Structure 1
Amino acid sequence: MASSEPIMSWPRLLSQRRFPDQQLPPTSAAPVRGAFVADYDRVVFSSAFRRLQRKTQVMPLPETDFVHTRLTHSLETAVVGRSLGRLAARHLMEADAALAEQLPNFDQDCGDIVAAACLAHDIGNPPFGHSGEDAISSYFLSAAAAPFLEQLSAAEVADLQHFEGNAAGFRILTHTYAAHSTGTAGLGLTYATLGAFTKYPKPSLVADAARTGGASEKKYGHFQSESARFQHVAAALGLLAKDAANGFYHRHPLAFLVEAADDLCYRIIDFEDGLKLGLIAPETGLPLLKRMLNDPAGRVGSVQWHDWREELGYIRARLIGKLVAELATLFAHHAPAILRGQYDQSLIKELSCWADLQEVQRLSINQLYRSRPVLEIEAAGFEVLGGLLDAFLTAIFDASQGHRSRKLLLLLPEQFRAEGHQAGVSAYEKILLLTDFVAGMTDQNALSLYKTIKGIELPKGF
């Protein structure tokens, strides 16, 4: 007798339909690119992705070639994600002949979906590094913001007071601004890629009774404004519900691989940046990375290094390869439970070198993330982002529309102005539109605009 236990289906999870159900033109020619490769390309050519090249990953506005920005981090995560997705899917195909017969391109498709989702995973993150989200949240928790939040629901307030780059990313990928409507929503990605992108398939507020304490509940993945969109995507993919009425679901299985690729890259490669910048001593960092490789005693390398930096790059490459293989095996092992919504942990925590990765993280926090340049730009981010939000919100909600308010509103691009949208825009949507603008800025643009509106510095050329 067939089991009545709910389970997610791989053919449905790998849906090539494009959000929101775009009609493809009829053609007899074979496509040049697969649907999920096209997703990857759409992200690459989006303006939101391009702006990541001037957004801080860890070190502020890096001037050296080897320090990562949000863009280089995203590219590297996508490369790791593609390998991880293909290898994990290959393990599943080897274990299940029926799956391999039903989905002959399963391994390639999984790799391409994970790569596209990884490429987009930071697309909603604000400027000024890891504290950009905290800076926006802090402003909306302040007394200055209180008057602007009076008309909002508790869930809408939670979206702003616990601002989340993942939710902002889902909004970018699915939202079309009325002032520039093209008839499609966002980037028009496939349902599969949108599902894999959403590592936290829940809103900012959920009932305590629905919580399970899993890895997918640490943050949230969509604002109230996108709740209906996400529920539509979840239903199309057949995601299992925890509390469907409130947009709370189990993860798309491939989201575990997106999370693992990101975890691996930021832990290892941020650590590499810390070593190259001299913030972490090589005599401490290199032995730690070598220990994670766990090479056989007496192994003799075939390459001679000119200095420790060359060796560091080689160790990092080998280590990521080793951990990708281990993560792929772990995913294949847990896949049956994941499809039933019975597994919700970070795969990286099951790695054999997890204790060493925790030490890597401890050193990064103490010596890299808390270094003076990082703390300085993060502190500046609080002033700049908070200052921009306060100035523009004051103008937006200025009932008298004085001269200063009108001048400030004219500085906003048309698609972020409430008056460019349909009548009756809510206070929540007005605030979100401004937050879209501020969070989407690069570090330099945010700083330059802040200086301009505060009268600290005139635009160049004046």
Structure 2
Amino acid sequence: MPHTTTTWDKLISKKRYDTPDKKHTTTIDESVRGEFQRDYDRIVFSPAFRRLQNKTQVMPMPESDFVHNRLTHSLEASVVGRSLGRIVGKSILERHPALAHEKNIQEADFGDIVAAACLAHDIGNPPFGHSGEDAISAYFQSEEAQPYLTALTAAELDDLARFEGNAAGFRVLTYTYPAHCSLPGGLSLTYTTLATFTKYPKESLPVISGTKNTSEKKYGFFQTEKAWFNTIAQELELLPKGKPEEVFYHRHPLAFLVEAADDICYRIIDFEDGLKLGLIPQEQGMDLFRRILNDAPGRKSSLTFYDWREEIGYLRARIIGKLIEETTKVFLEHEPEILAGTYDKPLINELTCKPVLDEIRDLSVSQIYQNRPVLEIEAAGFEVLGGLLDACIKAVFKPESMRHRKLAALIPPQFIHLPDGATDYERIIHITDFVAGLTDQAAINLYRKIKGIELPRMY
């Protein structure tokens, strides 16, 4: 009979995918550098994480040096996540002392798990942000793509037609390309960090329209990683959902903290970027920040600020501290429901300042995310990503064409040289990995070159 609640002693596991060839050897004692800190370090040194420095956060390809990109956003989210995890971990260890005594779990472990998952939370995002996800989805729904999709199952088709950066991220963390190594496992992270990373622990089908449960709004892994996630979920005893044949689970509880850290950072720091870029009126923005803090309208700080931007930074720091404190209280109040799978909504929705945060969100949508340069570059992203996918997929499926053979030679071998017997779905997923893994500028440059808009320089 399925279990009806989950327990921390199962949820916090240092188990990871390892083979004799991939065992980590170190002279550093685990008490100094724990397993979950290793997860964090492995993500930091991964090429996919490094490429986030040239992927859109708020403004695509910003010229200003103080505007955030995906890399800085991920780093800041991990800092917030570490604080959330440590504060929560301290209370959980007090409530469940056997974790420390029998499993050697420390307060810092909770912080490291959440920080690592936060660090990776956008690692699968394609160029041009969420618009890039829409562009990839639109291509696979288009007439041009249909000839290559005839052999795919309904779930495989849905993976592509509703392309999801979260699922791409799980693949980045867990998949090893055949041209690199025959052993699976990707970065070989712990099962707990991978489960905490997975905010949507379900496959793409069934689509649950109109759900109020936050973990059911998207999906968290492709069909290629379905069995892998199922193994993790069963090892950690995540609570199952749906029909027995579906890979569909309740969230790992710490995934709520990852979601909260992301929400806090993009709500507050994206808004701060909008203020500094002049997209949000200065006084209106500062008034909203002060309302979150419940500061009196005429309150004067004892600090001296050289300009209003410096004061905004000070207000932002105070706000993040307040939101961290409130978020951890909400999580701990609802811990029994979260463990039982009866709580499934964003923690940020429970905060006392939610009405002001909603005002900030609405103003950000209208003045930042719908800003004309943003919309223009996102529209161009549809042409770029759709064009790249179409060209690269034809290079795989039509190798008899001289033109397509030339293009195939430009695609890194790990994305195109698959083992015998690879399915059409696997071949398409590998090409999608290649295109989605490009930075904004790399995608534009490659598109220009293959379309003859710009020729490479000859040295």
TM-score in same-fold range (> 0.5): yes
Structure 2: distance between partners of 1:261 and 1:144: 39
Give the aligned CA root-mean-square deviation in angstroms.
Answer: 2.1
Q: 1:136 offset after TM fit, Å? A: 0.5
Query: Which residue of the other structure, out of 431, 434, 437, is the alignment partner of 2:434?
Result: 437
Q: 1:208 offset after TM fit, Å? A: 5.6
Query: Which residue of the other structure, out of 1, 15, 18, is the alignment partner of 1:17?
Result: 15
Structure 2: distance between partners of 1:29 and 1:316: 37
Q: 1:13 offset after TM fit, Å? A: 1.0
Q: Cα 1:101–1:330, aligned 2, differ >3 Å: closer, same or farther?
A: farther
Indicate the SS of the match to 1:80.
helix
Which residue number in structure 1 is paired with residue 118 of structure 2?
Answer: 118
Which residue number in structure 2 is paired with residue 237 of structure 1?
Answer: 236
Q: Cα 1:397–1:165, aligned 2, differ >3 Å: closer, same or farther?
A: same
Structure 1: distance between partners of 2:392 and 2:423: 16
Which residue number in structure 1 is paired with residue 192 of structure 2?
Answer: 192
Which residue number in structure 2 is paired with residue 334 of structure 1?
Answer: 334
Q: How many residues align?
A: 455
Which residue number in structure 1 is paired with residue 304 of structure 2?
Answer: 304
Q: Cα 1:272–1:403, aligned 2, differ >3 Å: closer, same or farther?
A: same
Once the two structures are superposed, residues 185-222 of structure 1 have per-residue CA deviations (whole angstroms, 9 ceiling, x without a partner) of 1001000100100000001112769x964110111000
Once the two structures are superposed, residues 100-151 of structure 1 have per-residue CA deviations (whole angstroms, 9 ceiling, x without a partner) of 5556644211110000000000000000122110010011111111111111
Using the TM superposition, name which of 408-417 and 292-301 deviates more. 292-301
Structure 2: distance between partners of 1:258 and 1:313: 23
Which residue number in structure 2 is paired with residue 92 of structure 1?
Answer: 92
Which residue number in structure 1 is paired with residue 52 of structure 2?
Answer: 52
Alignment partner of 1:201 is 2:201? yes
Q: How does the TM-score come out when normalised to structure 2?
A: 0.95
Which residue number in structure 2 is paired with residue 411 of structure 1?
Answer: 410
Q: Which amino acid aligns with 1:8?
A: T
Structure 2: distance between partners of 1:105 and 1:282: 46
Q: Which amino acid aligns with 1:86?
A: R
Q: How does the TM-score come out when normalised to structure 1?
A: 0.94
Indicate the SS of the match to 2:334.
helix
Alignment partner of 1:369 is 2:366? no
Which residue number in structure 2 is paired with residue 225 of structure 1?
Answer: 224
Q: Cα 1:287–1:407, aligned 2, differ >3 Å: closer, same or farther?
A: same
Which residue number in structure 2 is paired with residue 454 of structure 1?
Answer: 451
Q: 1:90 offset after TM fit, Å? A: 1.8
CA contact (8 A) 1:7 1:240 kept: yes
CA contact (8 A) 2:385 2:443 kept: yes
Q: Which amino acid aligns with 2:198?
A: T
CA contact (8 A) 1:85 1:112 kept: yes
Q: 1:379 offset after TM fit, Å? A: 0.7
Indicate the SS of the match to 2:195.
helix
Indicate the SS of the match to 2:91.
helix
Once the two structures are superposed, residues 68-95 of structure 1 have per-residue CA deviations (whole angstroms, 9 ceiling, x without a partner) of 0000000000000000111122233344
Q: 1:14 offset after TM fit, Å? A: 1.1
Structure 2: distance between partners of 1:351 and 1:163: 31
Once the two structures are superposed, residues 334-371 of structure 1 have per-residue CA deviations (whole angstroms, 9 ceiling, x without a partner) of 11111111111110100101111111011100000011
Q: Cα 1:330–1:124, aligned 2, differ >3 Å: closer, same or farther?
A: same
What aligned pairs does 1:267-416 form with structure 2 within 5 A after superposition? Answer: 267-295=267-295, 300-398=300-398, 401-416=400-415
CA contact (8 A) 1:58 1:130 kept: no
Which residue number in structure 2 is paired with residue 157 of structure 1?
Answer: 157
Q: 1:6 offset after TM fit, Å? A: 2.2
Q: Cα 1:20–1:308, aligned 2, differ >3 Å: closer, same or farther?
A: same
Q: Which amino acid aligns with 1:389?
A: L
Q: 1:8 offset after TM fit, Å? A: 1.2
Indicate the SS of the match to 1:248.
coil
Structure 1 residues not aligned, in runs of 5+:
none
Structure 1: distance between partners of 2:457 and 2:440: 17
CA contact (8 A) 1:118 1:258 kept: yes
Q: Which amino acid aligns with 1:19?
A: Y
Q: 1:183 offset after TM fit, Å? A: 3.0
Structure 2: distance between partners of 1:454 and 1:28: 52
Indicate the SS of the match to 1:176.
coil
Structure 2: distance between partners of 1:405 and 1:104: 56
Once the two structures are superposed, residues 246-268 of structure 1 have per-residue CA deviations (whole angstroms, 9 ceiling, x without a partner) of 11000000000000000110111
Structure 1: distance between partners of 2:83 and 2:11: 19
Q: Cα 1:401–1:251, aligned 2, differ >3 Å: closer, same or farther?
A: same
Structure 2: distance between partners of 1:44 and 1:434: 24
Indicate the SS of the match to 2:241.
strand
Which residue number in structure 2 is paired with residue 255 of structure 1?
Answer: 255
Structure 1: distance between partners of 2:88 and 2:318: 18
CA contact (8 A) 1:125 1:168 kept: yes
Structure 1: distance between partners of 2:442 and 2:346: 35
Structure 2: distance between partners of 1:258 and 1:336: 18
Once the two structures are superposed, residues 361-386 of structure 1 have per-residue CA deviations (whole angstroms, 9 ceiling, x without a partner) of 11100000011111111011100000
Structure 2: distance between partners of 1:181 and 1:303: 56
Which residue number in structure 2 is paired with residue 35 of structure 1?
Answer: 35
Q: 1:30 offset after TM fit, Å? A: 2.4
Once the two structures are superposed, residues 372-410 of structure 1 have per-residue CA deviations (whole angstroms, 9 ceiling, x without a partner) of 111111011100000000111122111x61110110111
Using the TM superposition, name which of 199-208 and 100-109 deviates more. 100-109
The list of structure 1 runs, each at least 4 consecutive aligned residues, that deviate by more than 6 angstroms after superposition, is 25-29
Q: Percent identity?
A: 59
Q: 1:63 offset after TM fit, Å? A: 2.1
Q: 1:20 offset after TM fit, Å? A: 5.2
Using the TM superposition, name which of 88-97 and 269-278 deviates more. 88-97
Q: Cα 1:103–1:348, aligned 2, differ >3 Å: closer, same or farther?
A: farther
Q: Cα 1:146–1:29, aligned 2, differ >3 Å: closer, same or farther?
A: closer
CA contact (8 A) 1:13 1:237 kept: yes
Q: Cα 1:283–1:332, aligned 2, differ >3 Å: closer, same or farther?
A: same
Q: Cα 1:26–1:405, aligned 2, differ >3 Å: closer, same or farther?
A: closer
Q: Which amino acid aligns with 1:360?
A: I
